[in-house]
A and B are shown apart, each in its own frame.
Chain A
């Protein structure tokens, strides 16, 4: 099961906005409204940031937003803060009743 494609790294300065992409196929990202994004700080468990493409769980900052165009989903973080430095993973339902994750993007706040 091949992973969804994410850039290995992204960076930005405090206050800037950055966007992380997640590319799949019409059998996963493009075919179902079940894309999620997770934040993982080093040595910690992942945390759900976005679910069902665009929805944000209660307690997650509105600086985080999700979108999708065709087979590519995106996570945008606005007003970048030092605490946002972490790895970010997308995931999607894939036809055949599986979940698939992206390879992860390491975000550095300069």
Chain B
């Protein structure tokens, strides 16, 4: 069964850092691009970042560029999101999502985790 399991969410202070993880199973991890998508309370979905299957190409939304870093450890089938300089507006449920292809925009986001909650507050 294809599964994604996020972890690492929690409470952080403004200006602080958190690292999210997403453990993948049930598919050949290196064959697919991976994404982070977030959803603020009561709001819509916002794409945050993507990473190619090999891990050598990264993509970011303008709202997080320069503050967040996406990475993957293909030996551990795990995706990461390092979040620095956190702001209140970064508070959201963060979903890990698998692309349907090696390229992040082909074939949609076909598998999603259940999400991990990040709260940025003093």
Is A82 interfacial (CB 8 A cutoff)? no
Contacts A1-B63, A51-B107, A52-B106; A45 near B95 (Cβ below 8 A): yes
Of the candidate stretches A13-21, A71-79, A98-106, the one touching chain B is A98-106
Q: Contact residue range for chain A?
A: 20 to 34
Number of B residues, CB within 8 Å of A = 26
Contact of A45 among B59, B63, B113 (CB under 8 A): B113
In residues 24-57 of chain B, which contact A (Cβ within 8 Å)?
35, 37, 44-47, 50
Contact B61 A1 (CB under 8 A): yes
Are A51 and B44 neighbours in the complex by a CB distance under 8 Å? no
| Contact present for B44 and A57 (CB under 8 Å) | no
A interface: dominant SS: strand
CA gap between A38 and B105 in the complex, in Å: 14
Contact between B44 and A99, CB atoms less than 8 A apart = no
Decide: A34 near B106, CB < 8 A? Known: A45-B112, A46-B112: yes
Contacts of B108 in A (CB 8 A): 36, 48, 50-52, 57, 91
> B78-102, CB under 8 A of A: which get 1 and which 0?
0000000000000000010100100
Cα distance, A74 to B57, chains bound together (Å): 31
A25-58 near B? 1/0 per residue, CB < 8 Å: 0000000101010101000011110111001010
Report which of B44, B107, B110, B113 forms a contact with A3, defined as CB distance below 8 A. Answer: B44
B-side contacts of A47, CB under 8 Å: 112
Is B61 a contact of A98 with CB atoms below 8 Å? yes
Question: What separation, in Å, do the CA atoms of A104 and B40 have in the docked complex?
Answer: 13
B12 to chain A, nearest CB (A): 23
* Alpha-carbon distance between A36 and B108 when the two chains are bound, in angstroms: 6
Q: Which residues of A contact B (CB under 8 A)?
A: 1, 3, 32, 34, 36, 38, 40, 45-48, 50-52, 55, 57, 89, 91, 93, 97-104
B interface with A by C-beta (< 8 Å): 35, 37, 44-47, 50, 59-63, 95, 97, 100, 104-110, 112-115
Given A46-B45, A50-B108, 10 other A-B residues pairs in contact with their CB atoms under 8 A: A3-B44, A36-B108, A38-B109, A45-B115, A46-B95, A47-B112, A52-B107, A89-B44, A97-B59, A99-B50
